[in-house]
Amino acid sequence: MPDRILRRDLLHGLAAGGILTGGAIAAGLTAGSARTAEESERGGAGGIRQSIVYWCFHAANDNPEIPSWDIERMCEVARQLGCQSIELAPRNTWDAIKKHGLTSAIVSNGMPGKSFMRGFNNPRYHDELIACTTESIDAAADAGFPSVIAFTGFKWRDAEDPSSGEIPLDEAAENCIKGLSRVVKHAEKRGVTICIEHLNTRDDSHPMKGHPGYQGDDVDWLADVVRKVGSERMKILFDIYHVQIMHGDVIRRLEEHRDVIGHVHTAGNPGRGELDDRQEINYPAIMRKLVELEYPGFVGQEFIPTRDPYAGLREAVNACDV
């Protein structure tokens, strides 16, 4: 089934062709729609603000036929599709992001290496992790960006050595609460939100499609940890793709954890590909639930392209533009 035409694309095309007058654009009228041009440019009705996740469109795919976008191309695409953010982008791209009038909805915690492996569940990493996260909070605040990512880490006492033994879940929870409580005070002072991500441990087909060994693979457990930290600057990164793999029942979990959701990610399942009709998640229904819940944050498009990235991203933005 061909993609429906995004309203903002139609408006831009008609304006470029001289078909719409300035008054018509300002009124924002097209057949079957009553949205304004301002709403269209904002990236969705009802408050769904969309973001492009940098790594997915910058050399994330081994297929040489799929182009890798530099930051300039990514920003151009974001503006064309009505997205407001390029997220998890290297700091040397931040000036370009801001030059294009965009924000970065969430930034890295600055931990070197595979940062999702060494997390707050393990006290042996706390000092380094808190130092890196504190520095990232300052950088985000100075740039005017709202959030910094965090992770529980892998479940082993040496994150990269399964033979070192597992950290029990209750101990891991206490470690996360202690570590996050130390750094969230600084986040409160700087007006930045820490969002700790839920990841799936079931998919072992690709290092970015699943994370066997990650301790925070139960979103309900993670929500409990966040609530016990007890700060408005401590939230969950609710990744719809990972929640679908580990739990399903996505809409109910959005309702149950609405108080602690600070950021949202997308991808098609199975495979972490496009949000098309070959995958199982009903994204328009999920986005309508976010609107109903008055979710104020961003939705980051975090799928790995398997075909033309612009077409896939346009389709994903369209699916989430409810």
* Contact yes or no for 146/195 (Cβ under 8 A): no
The reported pLDDT for the residue numbered 112 is 86
Domain count, the chain: 2
Pairing of strands 156-158, 193-197: unpaired
Do 286 and 161 share a structural domain? yes
Output the DSSP codes for 29-51: -BTTB---HHHHHHTSGGG-EEE
C-alpha to C-alpha distance for 245 and 173, rounded to whole angstroms: 22
- Reported as a single tens digit per residue, the pLDDT across 262-296 is 999 999 999 999 999 999 999 999 999 999 999 99
Do 134 and 25 share a structural domain? no
Domain around 25: 1-42
Do 117 and 27 share a structural domain? no
C-alpha to C-alpha distance for 100 and 118, rounded to whole angstroms: 34
C-alpha to C-alpha distance for 30 and 22, rounded to whole angstroms: 14
User: What's the longest Cα–Cα distance across the chain?
Assistant: 68
**pLDDT score of 31 more than 50:** no
- More confident of the two residues 107 and 17: 107
Do 236 and 129 share a structural domain? yes
Do 22 and 162 share a structural domain? no
The reported pLDDT for the residue numbered 59 is 82
The reported pLDDT for the residue numbered 63 is 81
- Reported as a single tens digit per residue, the pLDDT across 181-238 is 999 999 999 999 999 999 999 999 999 999 999 999 999 999 999 999 999 999 999 9
**pLDDT score of 165 more than 80:** yes
Average pLDDT over residues 28-32: 26
Burial grade of 141 (CB within 10 A; 0-12, 13-18, 19 or more) = middle
Do 138 and 36 share a structural domain? no
